[in-house]
Amino acid sequence: MLTTETPRPYNRLKMSVADPALDAAIRRHEERLARDPASLAFAQLADLYRKAGRTREAVTLCRHGLARHPHYTTARLILAKALAGEGALDQALGEIGLILATSPKDVQCHRLAAEIHRRLGHIDQSVTHLEAAVRLDPGDRESRSLLGLLRATTPSAGEASGLERVLADDTFATLAFGTLALEQGCVEEAAQTFTRILRKDPDNHAARERLETTLRARARRKG
């Protein structure tokens, strides 16, 4: 169980040698927080912990700081990100909900909510948050691109290609077909297949995992 105790000073023997700049930043912020434990510096340190893969410490530090500063939105968003990194997706959504209740135009929260809902298999909820993100930030190309992918509609019979007609047939909305499409490099088609499965069965863990794999492959392709 997570506690609200202030984490002990960072053990420098555990710091990664792969990113000395991150290690140095962590050390500076730890020293700053040690000098003034009641300061808002906890949020920056928690975010650095999160980036270093120390998500549990990030969660603990955020909870401790938010007990003192419950309206510090930045810290609550960092907490949501850390919880998502831990796989505590429902808890992360709870924190995002608290932010959006008072700041409904927080575009970062909408982006994160879209990601978490997608990871949970809640495709329509993800689309709703992506639509909000694009509406609030028309220049957000990534959200716009994901939105087009997740809310893909079936073209009319006259406009659809052969593959699109296959995709429109529920017979082919299967894990096997989506996996084959992904293996053949058809990432858009694979994503459409997995999202169709998830709209019917959000708890299909295999479809959820393969959709995330597909989106990572798509991101690598885009460079």
Please tell me whether residues 40 and 93 are part of one structural domain.
yes
Q: What is the pLDDT of residues 26-62, one digit of tens each?
A: 999 999 999 999 999 999 999 999 999 999 999 999 9
Q: What is the pLDDT of residues 139-197, one digit of tens each?
A: 999 999 999 999 865 444 454 455 555 556 666 789 999 999 999 999 999 999 999 99
Please tell me whether residues 12 and 95 are part of one structural domain.
yes
Query: What is the predicted pLDDT for the residue at 183?
Result: 94
> Which CATH number covers residue 122?
1.25.40.10
Please tell me whether residues 124 and 79 are part of one structural domain.
no
- What is the average pLDDT value for the chain, to the nearest integer? 87
Please tell me whether residues 95 and 1 are part of one structural domain.
yes
The distance in angstroms from the start CA to the end CA of the chain is 40
